[in-house]
Structure formats: structure tokens, C-alpha cells
Structure 1
Amino acid sequence: MVKILVVEDEYDIRELLQNYLENEGYQVVTASDGEQAIEVFRSSHVDLILLDILLPRLNGYEVCKAIREESDIPIIMLTALDSEEDQLKGFDLRIDDYIPKPFSMPVLLRKIGAILRRTMGDSISGRITYKALTLDLEGYKVYISGQIVDLTQREFDLLKVLLQNQGRVLSRQTLLNRVWSYDFYGDERIVDTHIKNLRKKLGLDYIETIRGVGYRIDYEAEK
């Protein structure tokens, strides 16, 4: 199930968004200030963030900047600040969309759906397909041309994150944050070891090493 983090300090708006999204089949977690938003992001695997700007403790721009140091997760800013300067500041921080308040719920849902299709592909329906690969997200199974491949949970999660971010270079630290979360303290080169094992098991050259930066799975060419 797709999980969305709603970051909004006004209770009524936060509750409205949560109820509406849950009625549409999304799983929702919430935060009421900037510091809590970062804590929830780091402790819960979420697929998209709806982020207000005018927040206590840390504002939305500061939250976005902190998250962007760790992840390329889709972020939509929902805010009463609608000036061109505010919008440009958000896009400079690599947000995916900027929606001024008041906003239309049906339009917001369409935008969420469009961004998730772009970033997650078939994973919304419980699977990811890429060339000869198929990932069954609910069964934690990987198939190559219909033949099952035995992966560890970490290898599966690592492959899933790379496929969900096709075309993006993910640093070792980003992969540690997304796959290991707080379960690992040590040398980030453990990512290299898992990538090596993953390549060996898959027998495919889909994972590209970007020297000095990290790893990437490129966009699948149009058929």
C-alpha cells in the first residue's frame, strides 16, 4: 500500500487530508511540525510527502532541504504562500509540485497519482517490472524472464529502491537511509557488498556504478 506523510500544523486541515486520502486507499502518517516531520520520514518508509511551509520548529523549506540530503522522495508543497518567489524557492529545493491553498481535493488526488506513476510505476499495483525483471512487492519475490531468483530481504529492498528511482543516481548514504534505516551503524561500503551480490544473483548488468557517487538503474528504453 502506498504510504503518504502529511505534514500540516493545522489540525482541521491535517485531519481532512488524512481522512480523504485514507478513503482513497492510501496509508497515511502525519506530523504537526518540522522536526516531527523529519523524525517520521526517517522512521517510516513513506512514498510521498505533502508538506506545508508555515510550520513550527522548522519550516517547510528547512524540512525539504533536510530530506533532500537523504532522499529523492516525491514532495508536494501545500501552502498559503502563493507568490512566485515562494514557488521558485520550493522548486529550487527540488520539490515535485507546489499547490497553493485553498486547493481542490480531486485535483490534488490527480497530481498525487501522476507523480506516483512517474516515480513508482507498476509498484502502485503491487509489482515493478523492468526489462526482464519483475518484483512481486507483496510476496517479496523476484523473477527474471519468469524464473524466480532467491534474494535476501536487504537485496530485495535495495533493488526495489533503485527501480523506484530509475534514472536517478543514489548515493551510498541515501541507500543506507532508505534500506537499512536505523538498523545499521558502520561502514557505508556494505552497500557495495550487497550490490555485488545482487549483480551476481541477477546475472544482469542493470545496475550502473557512478564512480565516486553511487548507483543507478537507468530508465527503461521506450519499446
Structure 2
Amino acid sequence: MSSAAATPDTLLECLLVVVHAHGGTLSRQGAIDGLPLVNNRLTPSLFRRAAKRAGFTSNVVRKPLDGLNTALFPAVLLLNDDEACVLLGWTGDGQTARLVFPELGEAEALLSRDELAARYAGFAIFARPQFRFDARTPEVGQVKQRHWFWGTLAENKLLYRDVMLAAFMVNLFAIALPLFTMNVYDRVVPNHAIETLWMLAGGVMIVLVADVALRTMRGYF
């Protein structure tokens, strides 16, 4: 078993704990599918995108333990050695932290404030649900029902438009090399048109660079 497979993605597990604590649902694969992971692990910069898939908004802040807003708990704490945990709150005396470590599942653990401060890297991530509807409000009954297929397409129409445009351009660029080869053999070589060859070569290089860029962007989104 590889080390990447054996080492748990602590930041991903912390995200799942926070989502479950707020009554949300999110699978491990659903959180990271398509994201550019680093060593198969979620990074703080990708946390926002993964949380958004569960309908959560998040923010990375640099604050000491004493400066964390308890009203926003549970919060994800970044620890030394690229580890993370979830801070649920403090005990009555405020000297002991109630934590969830990914290695223990969602079981609660206790750690003194001093011990936690020694391991704390100085950064925390707050994550909260973006919307919370109250079924008692009349607006809920007025929410427009969407078609399961066309409604989803309409919601992401701008993204699909860009992807389709990129796909069209990539397919259009695919004929650049055949056209280049045909013109070289039919026009450049018989006429020894070196200047034309350089112009054609420059044009096809621009097309190839644009093709690679569009393919990369299409795969990213």
C-alpha cells in the first residue's frame, strides 16, 4: 500500500465532520472529484471549492486560538506537519478543547489549551451553510420547481457554453496540421518559398499553443 493511500486526508475528513455537524451531506469522492489535489490530498486553497459542493461557504483566517470566534464553531484548525482537526468548542473552564481528530472518526477528544496551542499552525477555516430555509416561511412554497435535467443545465449554462466553445475551437484547431502539411508540400516546397514557410510555421505554432491551453482549461472545468 502506498503512503498516499495509507495516510488519511485529514483536511477532507475535517470538512466532512463540519458538514455533518451542520446536518449536511457530502461524500468523500463528491468533495474532491475533479479538483487538482496535491499528493492526492485536499489543500486549504481547495477547501472552499470542496465545501461549496455541499452548499457551504468557507474562509481561511490567520488568528491565534484566543481570537477565534466561538459563534462560528465548529472550525477546522490547521496543525503542524500538514495535519488538521475540528475544534468543537471549549469546556466550561476554557482550558480544555473539545476536538475531533480525523484518525478517530467523529469521536470527540479532549486536549488542553496549551497542548493545542503548541500544535496549532496559526490558521483556521470557518465553514457555514450558504442558505438555511425555514419551512414556516411562505416564500418556501413559492420556490419555482425546476426540471431535474433542464433545470440543472440552465443553472450552469454559462459554464456549459464556455466548455462547448472550447470543444469547438479544439476540433477546429485539429485541422491546422493537415492544412499546414498540405500547403507546405503543394506550395512552399515547389516554389522554395521560405518566407511563406516561416509564416505558416508561426501560425501553426500559435494554433498549437492555443489548442493546449483550451484543452487544459476544458479539463480543469
Please indicate the TM-score interval, normalised by the length of the shorter structure: under 0.3
Structure holding more helix per residue: 2
